[in-house]
Structure 1
């Protein structure tokens, strides 16, 4: 084989390998897709861990802190203590 034929042969082999890599086997594409899916799920897992931590803190406060319960009752339910008068102002 001459030098030109050798180079041409190597180029054909490289092109064939690239084509086979990109289009022939779906394994690589599946691997990339799974990698990004794993990345997305890890992000969701971190968000859920943070939410779980906040919920555990709120449960602890609801079980142990009477002033927190009073705060929630006033804020979310609009409750007032006996003898208190609530004033509401229009914005």
Structure 2
């Protein structure tokens, strides 16, 4: 007599924990949401940095010159570049 209600309760508990909308699935979805939120924050920060770089490239000639010197190795016509060999450790 007690087996039928106990079986029903066990059946309900099983789907409450392991079903498509169960506790384990909710836990996994929360972890996925936290990862996505962290990635979104990182992407927003990178986006703001890129917006700043775009603005600087459009308006700041000194920034353009520093990029040309650093990344492209460009120099002015009246400058002399000295390169020194690095000591090996």
TM interval, short-chain normalised:
0.7 to 0.9
| 1:56 aligned onto 2:51 | yes
- 1:4 counterpart residue number: none
In the TM superposition, residue 90 of structure 1 has moved relative to its aligned partner by 1.7
Equivalenced residues, count: 79
Structure 1, gaps ≥5 residues long: 1-11
The root-mean-square deviation of aligned C-alpha atoms, in Å, is 2.1
TM-score, structure 1 normalization: 0.74
- 1:70 counterpart residue number: 65
The structure that is helix-richer by fraction is 1
TM-score, structure 2 normalization: 0.75
In the TM superposition, residue 69 of structure 1 has moved relative to its aligned partner by 0.4
Once residues 66 and 29 of structure 2 are traced to their aligned partners in structure 1, the CA distance between those partners, rounded to angstroms, is 46
Q: Residues 1-91 of structure 1: matches in 2 within 5 Å?
A: 16=10, 19-23=14-18, 25-28=19-22, 29-91=24-86
Q: Which has the larger radius of gyration?
A: 1
